[in-house]
């Protein structure tokens, strides 16, 4: 059982270097932003080493020391970087005040097993720091794009007004341009047309394939599965090249032999290509859901006289529905965000939103791209949140987690 009482205080020879190391990391970011990362590391390490020593040895009172550090860092940040600097200083002061006494009072061991060695404790927290660092480096580009989409100027950088949090530095004009510009709206409508239809095809084919491959008597299941999920393994440029030649022949047949409209055929090719990209995601998620499926239920339904179709929709489908919906959401995101295949297979009439963004970056640098990127981020977050809720529901239905 984890220890719930604090152990003896940590020595200064441990606390001060660790806090200094954390200060060096903060100094790296601050110094890099001001043109000298090395100087920031040295100043950050030295400053936090002195501060942590003073908090423990001189001030001693935790509450006074932490509040004093918060106020001092907030003032220092405001002097160096105005309001944004003050906010960063406020957060940094709170963190380092808490971090210093968290180490000094050995609170980091309170909820750990008492018999863990120092090396095990070090790895316990190092692993979390590494995961947190990866998360920060992944999420930072998104956090930069979102505020830039509200820039009142036609720039891709933060203006002095934005850094001062001046209301005049922010505007919704880029969002207004997106919703009023014909080019953006046409590409947006194309994405809303292509992605749902491609998703429906992917879900239908992927679900049937997953159910078929889950049967024990199917020969060559591993080879078939490898072929079906190959579109998500093979580099996209290779898939796009192959699709270009394959769907060109189909398009020539539909236009020349059957006399179909060229624009309609273009939509058909893009939808089928996106469906192919989405099928692997549906197969994987539905197959994972079928792992915990009780097949005695389908046998019982068959014994009661239900035909296979009725058994599927009444018994099997309700239980695997979270996996089906999750696969459909992945397929929708894949189609909605895809740009390489549509460049090869589609034409100007099928220009999707990512294609329009790609064109905007190459031909005309418009900050409207930032607004579109923010909208796509919001949509992706909403879909991923839905995926997580469906995953938890699926686990509850299969008895893998408590209700």
- Angle of helix 37-53 relative to helix 12-33, nearest 10 degrees, comes to 150
How high is the mean pLDDT in each 10-residue block of the chain (403 residues)? 55 89 86 78 90 90 90 87 82 92 88 84 88 85 84 79 79 88 89 93 92 81 86 87 88 83 89 92 87 75 79 80 86 89 86 85 76 86 80 66 51
Burial class (CB in 10 A: 0-12, 13-18, 19+), 233: exposed
pLDDT of amino acid 94? 93
User: What's the pLDDT score for residue 394?
Assistant: 65
Supply the CATH classification number for the domain 181-397.
1.10.3720.10
| CB half-sphere exposure, 325, CA atoms < 13 A | 18
**Residues in CB range of 390: below 8 A, 6 or more apart:** 322, 323, 325, 326, 329
pTM of the model: 0.72
Burial of 54 (0-12, 13-18, 19+ CB in 10 A): middle
Residues 177, 179: Cα–Cα separation, whole Å: 6
Per-residue pLDDT at 399: 60
Q: Where are the domains of the chain?
A: 12-115, 181-397
């Amino acid at each position: 059982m984890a220890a719930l009482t604090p152990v003896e205080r940590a020595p200064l020879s441990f606390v001060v270097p660790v806090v200094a190391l954390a200060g060096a990391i903060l100094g790296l970011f601050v110094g890099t932003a001001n043109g000298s990362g090395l100087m920031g590391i040295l100043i950050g390490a030295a400053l936090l080493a002195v501060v942590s020593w003073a908090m423990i040895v001189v001030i001693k009172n935790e509450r006074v020391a932490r509040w004093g550090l918060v106020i001092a860092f907030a003032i220092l940040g405001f002097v160096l970087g105005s309001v944004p600097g003050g906010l960063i200083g406020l957060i940094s002061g709170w963190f380092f005040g808490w971090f210093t006494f968290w180490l000094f009072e050995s609170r980091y061991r309170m909820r750990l097993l008492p018999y863990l060695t120092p090396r095990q404790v070090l790895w316990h927290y190092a692993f979390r720091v590494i995961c947190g660092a990866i998360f920060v480096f992944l999420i930072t580009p998104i956090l930069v794009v979102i505020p830039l989409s509200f820039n009142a100027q036609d720039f891709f950088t933060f203006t002095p007004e934005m850094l001062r949090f001046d209301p005049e530095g922010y505007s919704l004009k880029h969002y207004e341009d997106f919703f009023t510009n014909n080019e953006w709206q046409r590409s947006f409508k194309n994405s809303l047309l292509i992605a749902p239809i491609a998703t429906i095809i992917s879900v239908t084919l992927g679900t049937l394939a997953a159910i078929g491959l889950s049967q024990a008597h199917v020969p060559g299941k591993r080879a078939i599965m490898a072929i079906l999920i190959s579109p998500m393994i093979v580099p996209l440029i290779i898939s796009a090249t192959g699709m270009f030649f394959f769907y060109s022949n189909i398009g020539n047949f539909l236009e020349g032999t059957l006399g179909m409209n060229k624009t309609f055929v273009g939509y058909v090719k893009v939808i089928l290509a996106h469906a192919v990209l989405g099928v692997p995601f549906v197969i994987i998620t539905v197959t994972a859901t079928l792992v915990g499926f009780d097949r005695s239920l389908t046998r019982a339904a068959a014994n009661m006289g239900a035909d296979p179709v009725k058994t599927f929709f009444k018994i099997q489908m309700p239980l695997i529905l979270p996996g089906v919906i999750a696969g459909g959401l992945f397929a929708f995101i894949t189609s909605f965000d895809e740009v390489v295949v549509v460049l090869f297979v589609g034409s100007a009439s099928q220009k999707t939103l990512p294609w329009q963004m790609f064109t905007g970056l190459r031909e005309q640098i418009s900050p409207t791209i930032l607004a579109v990127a923010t909208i796509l981020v919001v949509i992706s977050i909403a879909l991923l949140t839905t995926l997580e809720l469906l995953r938890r529901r699926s686990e509850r239905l299969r008895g893998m987690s408590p209700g």
